[in-house]
Every structure is written in structure tokens, then in C-alpha cells.
Structure 1
Amino acid sequence: MNIVLWVLQGTLAAVFLAAGLPKIAKPREELVAPMGEWVNSFPAPGIKLLGLVEVLGAVGLVVPPLAGVAPVLSPVAAVGIIVIMVGAIVAHARESAGSKIAMNIVLGVLAAVVVWGRFGPYAF
């Protein structure tokens, strides 16, 4: 099960790193086409902040346990990802993007499994 949790953590980290970096690096106008109309309903600094939080969540999933420093931050980062996914579900529901909502639910469930495993029987 430890290997499964590491695979989930790595997968979530890759997804959130890939989602967060463009939000930090690109202007809001360039994000509408690949990410959807929800981008227009948020201020540009809010999108940059969201990207930063996603990148920090990605880092928090894998770096602390690999470094052996405060590994409890890994499941805490997974809790943060669940919170981000709840917000994403709300934002995508406003634009009626069902396929994006489904992906948010899947990512939230994967993060919940990491929380369960790392706070529970498979803690570091």
C-alpha cells in the first residue's frame, strides 16, 4: 500500500505542478482557451495565487517525506488539494463543465486516499 500511496502522491504532484505553473507564468487572457471561461470570473492576482497554491501543494506532497523533514506535511498538502478541488467543482459548476467536474472529483478522491493512508495506517 505504501507504493500505491507514493504513486498517488507522485501523480497528484505532477498534475498540480502542470496545472499551477501556467497560472503563475501566463497572463489571464492566455489561460481562457486551455482552461475555460471560469478564468474570466476571477481576478488575475487570484489566478496567480491559485497557481502558487497548486505548485506548493505539489511540492508538499513529495518533498517533505523524501527529505525526511516534517513528513506530516504530505497529508496536510493532500488536504489542501481536496479544498482546491471543492473550489474547482464550484467554479466549474457555474459554467456547466461536467467533464471538468468529474476530473475534479477524481483528483479529490485520490487526494483523500493519500490523506487516509498517510494520516492513518501508512504514515511516514
Structure 2
Amino acid sequence: MNIALWIGQALLALMFLNAGVMKTIQYEKSKAKMPWMKEYSKGLVHFIGIAELLAAVGFILPAALGVLPWLTGAAGVGIAIIMVLAIGVHGRKGEYGAVVMNIVLLAISVFIAIGRF
């Protein structure tokens, strides 16, 4: 079980590290690739990106260092909330490929939250 949790944590950390960097540091470049970003303020997109970056760190460091390990479960809950909201955004736009990916990421994040709490 621990190995499966670590695999899920590593996968989500990599995914959300990339997504967070795209939404914060590479905002203009990402805006061209992600049509939904045009409908939301730059501040909101940056907030989401920062939350994703913090979650990426939260998936690895607390569990690896044994310092406040409950933060890994909290990262799972936070990403689960973001994925539920993302499903709504992409579903309304008819972006069903993105919805499927959000559901998969939601399932992994819930698995990590339950496993680490």
C-alpha cells in the first residue's frame, strides 16, 4: 500500500509541478494552449497555479521527511477540490478529454488523502 501511495504522490507531484509552473511562470504561453484561461482573471489563474505548486511540494516533502506528514493528506484533499472544480469548468465547455483526466487525477488524490490520513 505504501508503495502505491508513493507512486501516486510522485505522479501527482510531477503533474502539478508542471501545471503550477505553467499557470504562474509561463502564464502568457499557457494562455494560448489552454482556452479556459482566457475566461478567468490572471489573479485567479495564478492562485490556482500557486495552490498546485504547494500541493506538489506537499505530496513529497512531508511524507519523505516525516515532518507534519498529515500535510500530504491535506495536499490530496486540496487537489481533489481543485479537480472537482476543474471537472465543472471543462464539462461546461465540452472538453471531455480534460474531464476524463481530471477524474483520474481526482481518484488518485482521494486515494492519497485517504491513505495518508
**TM tier, shorter chain?**
over 0.9
CA distance in 2, matches of 1:17, 1:92: 20
Q: Is the counterpart of residue 10 in structure 1 residue 19 in structure 2? A: no
Deviation readout 1:54-103 (Å, 9 max, x if unpaired): 00011011111112210010011100000010111111112110000000
The equivalent of 1:72 in structure 2 is 70
Counterpart residue identity of residue 12, structure 2? L
The equivalent of 1:86 in structure 2 is 84
CA distance in 1, matches of 2:96, 2:104: 12
What does residue range 1-124 of structure 1 map to in structure 2 within 5 Å?
1-27=1-27, 29-35=28-34, 37-119=35-117
The equivalent of 1:122 in structure 2 is none
Query: RMSD across aligned C-alpha pairs, in angstroms?
Result: 1.0
Please identify the structure whose Cα radius of gyration is greater: 1
Identity of aligned residues (%): 40
CA distance in 2, matches of 1:111, 1:101: 15
Offset, 1:32? 2.9
TM-score, normalising length: structure 1: 0.90
Gaps of 5+ in 1: 120-124
TM-score, normalising length: structure 2: 0.95
CA distance in 1, matches of 2:42, 2:26: 10
CA distance in 1, matches of 2:5, 2:84: 21
Offset, 1:34? 2.2
The alignment of Structure 1 onto Structure 2 pairs a total of residues equal to 117
Gaps of 5+ in 2: none
